Amino acid sequence: MSTPLLAIPVVVPIFGAALSILVGFRRELQRLVTIAALSVTVVVSIIVLIRADEHGHLVANSGGWAAPLGIALIVDRFAAIMLVVSAVVLLIVAIYAIGQAGEERERVSFHPLYLVLAAGVSASFVTGDLFNLFVAFEMMLAASYVLITLGGRPDQVRAGMTYVVISLVASTLFITSLALLYAATGTVNMADLAGRLAEIDPALRHGFSIMLLIVFGIKAGLFPLFFWLPDSYPTAPGPVTAIFAGLLTKVGVYAIIRTQTLMFPPGDGGANWGDDVLLWVAAATMIIGVIGAIAQDDMKRILAFHIISQIGYMIMGLGMFTVVGVAAAVFYVIHHIVVKTALFLVAGLVDHRAGSSRLSSVGGLVRTAPMIAALFAVPALSLAGLPPFSGFLAKFALVDAGLSQGSSAIVAVALAVGLFTLFSMTKIWTGAFWGSAETEPERAPRTTDRFGGPPLMVLATLSLVAISISFSIWAGPIHELSQRAAEDLLNPAGYINAVLREAAP
């Protein structure tokens, strides 16, 4: 089904960004523009999800040029789910950022950049063209480069440099892969590529599969390409870290799932070694991430290492290439975006309240700020996979998928890593919420706030935590939706037809 609706989640934030620069002299107007643009994005994304679930696929040809000549925008159920979750998270984090008065957020450029980031994230989900995906990535990354270094503190510059250089290397590799793909097939439209890649030499196809896996693996933080992530993310301002941790790596995961299922489906003549590679990578990513977290002292860095181990779970679901496996991965991605962002928002609250996010300089928050403790406990237990939270359901779906396929080794790894995650969460709990501070925090604690922080920040965190709880309440419908999304992903014929059928109206 064809609809111009798909362009709105990209176009509205971009126009919002332009407007935000124009009204840069009035902070209130900028805030209004941000909230309005993101609210429109949320509403349109929900409409897109409902209609995509109804029709299977929504297609829009930009400029009226039919695919594969024009740039096709296509949304299937998976992309629509990602669109909704990312739009909601972006809106909530924007509210949190407005609530946090601070030097970085007071800068004129924060709001426009944030909207460009939002547009880039949405564009990555709606595009059906590999080169357009590159442009969307660059849009998102260019905004993130500035956001991560906004303020220009020495640690930010150092970490930002790592981040920018690594992202640029990934982008260069992406262009290289695109050039080679175009030379081999003569197209960069993903649906068209899927058909043409099936005709070329399998060895060459494996090469492309691995190249794209490396490109997106750098963005997603896969083993062994994750080194930049825990160094760079924690230095950004709280809300920025939260949105990076929650969304940016997951855009990489989305791209991996999209390309691997659409363009390199398994089982077509000796491609099976590639699937095992994904499972091995998943296991290594889970273990390395969780072990890296043990040595850390800073709350944000512990959480940053856990992003890596959680990415491993998603790739594990994909690596099985069964409907249950991919459905579990989709569910895991949704759960993880919300829970991880919530945890980083809590880390921001702790930082705001206690003057530091370092476990050795924070203590006793459960008495002085019980609200923050409660807000931390729910997503932390969810991340570790304890029932009845969404993390338990996501992990259960994965383990179930793994056992039904007979891959018990990866299931054992997943369960052991879950235990270590719980260990890290209890470490944060005992360090920051129980016990007492051993060293002085970097800034003076602020103890005047009634709810443990400025009301807007607490409200934003609370709503994300509430959403994560609602995932366990409506786990049935959400899992069924993931199931349908996974069926679409593993039967790419529908996607390909939806794009290319528009070519001959």
Partner 1 sequence: MSLALAAVTAILFASGTWLLLQRRLTRIIIGIGLLGHGANLLLVTSGGRAGNPPILDGTVGSPAAYSDPLPQALALTAIVITFGVTAFLLALGYRSWQINSDDKVEDDLEDRMVARRNELDGPEGPIDDGDPETNEFEVEEDAQP
Q: How far is CA 361 from the centre of its chain?
A: 30
Nearer residue to partner 1 within complex by CB, 280 or 434: 434
* Closest distance of CB 500 from partner 1, Å: 17
By CB under 8 A, what part of segment 122-141 binds partner 1? 131, 134-135, 138, 141
The residue among 9, 13, 146 whose CA lies nearest residue 83 is 9
| Under rule CB under 8 A, residue 116 binds partner 1 | no
Number of H helices, E strands in the chain: 21, 2
Cis before 370 (ω within 30): no
By CB under 8 A, what part of segment 293-312 binds partner 1? 295-298, 301
* Closest distance of CB 335 from partner 1, Å: 28
Phi then psi for residue 57, to 5 deg, are: -135, 140
Nearer residue to partner 1 within complex by CB, 173 or 277: 173
* Closest distance of CB 15 from partner 1, Å: 20
The rounded distance, in Å, linking the Cα atoms of 325 and 5 is 31
By CB under 8 A, what part of segment 164-203 binds partner 1? 164-165, 168-169, 171-173, 175-176, 178-180, 182-183, 188
End-to-end CA distance of the chain: 11
Q: Which of 30, 144, 149, 249 binds partner 1 (CB under 8 A)?
A: 149
Nearer residue to partner 1 within complex by CB, 46 or 146: 146
Largest alpha-carbon pair distance within the chain?
A: 70
* Closest distance of CB 360 from partner 1, Å: 6
| Under rule CB under 8 A, residue 7 binds partner 1 | no
Q: Which of 36, 43, 101, 157 binds partner 1 (CB under 8 A)?
A: 157
Beta carbons of 230 and 305 less than 8 angstroms apart: yes
Contacts of 435 (CB under 8 A, 6+ apart): 363, 364
Q: Which of 43, 155, 200, 388 binds partner 1 (CB under 8 A)?
A: 155
| Under rule CB under 8 A, residue 146 binds partner 1 | yes
The 206-245 site mask, x for binding partner 1 (CB under 8 A), equals -------------------------x--x-----------
| Under rule CB under 8 A, residue 331 binds partner 1 | no
* Closest distance of CB 279 from partner 1, Å: 29
The residue among 470, 292, 285 whose CA lies nearest residue 382 is 470
Q: Name the one range near partner 1 by CB under 8 A: 151-159, 333-341, 343-351, 405-413.
A: 151-159
In this structure, the chain runs to a length of: 505
**Coil, strand or helix: which one is 328?**
helix
The 348-367 site mask, x for binding partner 1 (CB under 8 A), equals ------------x-------
The 436-455 site mask, x for binding partner 1 (CB under 8 A), equals --xx--xx------------
Instruction: Give the number of residues in contact with partner 1, rule: CB under 8 A.
Output: 46
Q: List, as one string, the DSSP characters of 95-147.
A: HHHHHS--TTTTSTTHHHHHHHHHHHHHHHHHB-BHHHHHHHHHHHHHHHHHH
The rounded distance, in Å, linking the Cα atoms of 428 and 198 is 49
The rounded distance, in Å, linking the Cα atoms of 400 and 7 is 38
Nearer residue to partner 1 within complex by CB, 97 or 229: 229
By CB under 8 A, what part of segment 31-50 binds partner 1? none
Which structure tokens are listed for 226? 């994750």
Q: Which of 21, 32, 161, 422 binds partner 1 (CB under 8 A)?
A: 161
The residue among 410, 196, 374 whose CA lies nearest residue 285 is 410
Beta carbons of 469 and 378 less than 8 angstroms apart: yes
* Closest distance of CB 441 from partner 1, Å: 10
Q: How far is CA 258 from the centre of its chain?
A: 14
* Closest distance of CB 64 from partner 1, Å: 18
The rounded distance, in Å, linking the Cα atoms of 260 and 222 is 15
> Which whole-number Å values give the CA distances from 38 to 29, 137, 488, 491, in the listed order?
14, 19, 28, 33
Sign, Cα dihedral of 62, 66, 67, 70: negative
Q: How far is CA 462 from the centre of its chain?
A: 20
Nearer residue to partner 1 within complex by CB, 45 or 357: 357
Nearer residue to partner 1 within complex by CB, 309 or 407: 309
Contacts of 82 (CB under 8 A, 6+ apart): 125, 250, 254, 333
| Under rule CB under 8 A, residue 276 binds partner 1 | no
* Closest distance of CB 47 from partner 1, Å: 30
Q: Which residues bind partner 1 (CB under 8 A)?
A: 131, 134-135, 138, 141-142, 145-146, 149, 152-155, 157-162, 164-165, 168-169, 171-173, 175-176, 178-180, 182-183, 188, 231, 234, 295-298, 301, 360, 438-439, 442-443
